[in-house]
Structure 1
C-alpha cells in the first residue's frame, strides 16, 4: 500500500513537472516569446519554414505561404502571399493566422505586429540555426518529439553523403555560388558546413561571413578546385573576365545543378540531408583528372 502510494506521488510530481515544462514559453531568434495553445492557422513566409512545418506533421495547419514555397506538393494549393519584402499585409490579415513565421530579414514583420498578429522569426544561416528553429517549431505545434526524429534523418543522410565523396576530392577547395554578383556560400553558412562535412575546403574563409559578396578577381586569384552553381550561371562562367584560367573550369570540375535541384541546395531545413546527398552525387560524378 505504501509502495503504491509512493508511485502515485512520484507520478504526480513527474506529471506536474512536465506540465510546468510545457508551460514554459518558447522564443524565436529575436527573443519574442510564444505563450498559449499550439496554433491551428499558420502563415509561413519562407520556403524553409514551410518545409519545416510540413516535415513536423503540421502541413494541414498552413493557411498561406510565400510565393516560393513549393514543397511538399500540397502547399501549392495554398494562397500565395508574396515574399520577404512584399508580402501582402491585407491578404495575410484576412487569413486570420494564429501565427506568422518569417525570416529575420522580413520587412513586414513589424507591420504585422502593429496590426496585432503574432510573428515568430528564425535565422537560418547555419546548421545550428536550422536545428534551433526545428526544435522551436516542433514545440510551437505541440509535437516536440518530432524535432529529434527529423534531425536524426538529416544526419543519417549526411553520413551517407560523406561516404559517397571520392577520396581524391577530400581537401579540395570549392566555390559554391549563391548568386552571380558573385555571392558565395561561405564556410560558416549551412551550405558551407555541409561541404566541410563532405571533406571539401571552402574557398571563402569564415571571417567573410556566411554569404559574402566577393570581388570576382578574388575568385580568380584563389582558383578553386571545384565550382558549384545553378546550370545557367555555370554555363556563363567561362565568359566572365579571367575565369577561363580558374582551375575548376580548366579541368571540368564543375557541378551544374538544375534549377529544381539548386533550390533544394539553398534551402536550410528538413531536406538538408537530401541536399548533402545531391552534392555528394555531383562530386562523385566529376571527371577524374
Structure 2
C-alpha cells in the first residue's frame, strides 16, 4: 500500500473540530494560497526546512550530505532542494538544530498506536481525530480509507479538514466514515480564486455539493483575508452560493488572517506572497458574522 508523507501529528488540538483532538497533517496540496500558514505541507515529497538566519556556516551538514545537495555559495552553505532526497542525515550533525526534514511515512498500525494514547481525552472532551493537511483528501485513497475505517472501528469521532481540491470519488468513498467535514471556502469569484489560490474553484464547489447531497455534516471554514475576500460582495457571494445550492451547513467558522506561518517561507527558500495582506478588524469580523446570521446561519463563530 502506498504511504503518504505526514508532516506533523499535533496532540491536544482544540481548533480542528470539537473537543480535544489529535490532528494528523498530511503532506501535499495542489493549492497555493498566498497566506498558507503550513507551506511545508504543500509538496508531496520530503523536503528540508532550514533556519538560515541562525546558521553559523560551520559546514557540518555538508560533510555528512551523501547526495551533494549542500553547497557553499557566497559565503554560506545552501541546500539545493532539487538534489535533496530528504534522508535527514544532515540534521543529526547540525550543532544548533537548525535543520529538519519535513515528511515522515507511517504504517497505519503505528499511527493508530499514537492515536490510541489520547483516547481518554477524546472520551472526556467529546473530541477525536482530525485528518488535515496539506490536502488529506489527495492522499493515496487505499491508505486513507483504511485509516478512516480503523479510526471508526475504535469509536473515535473523525473530522476531515479539507480545501476541497481532490478527486470527487475520494469524497464519495470516505464520506461514510466521517463525522464532520471542516470545509474551506475562500471566494466564489473564480478569477479571484485563481489569482490568490492558484486553481479554479470549480472542483472545490462540486465536491462541497456532492458531500452535502450525501448528507454529510459540514462545518464551513472561511479565512477572512484583507483585501482578498473581506469586501461585502465576496461575503454576499458565499452566502448566496450556500443558500442557492442548499448546502447543509452545521456551523460557519470565520477565521481572521494571520501571518504566523510567514517565517517558514524563508526556511523553505520561498517568497511569502501575502506580505501585503492584512488582518481584518474586530468590527469587520463582527459585521461578517452578522451578515451570515441575518441570512439564517444560526451557528456562526469567529475563530476555529
Calculate the TM-score normalised by the size of structure 2: 0.29
Higher relative contact order (Cα pairs below 8 Å, separated by 6+ residues): 2
* The structure with more helix, counted as a fraction of residues: 1
Point out the structure with the larger strand share: 2
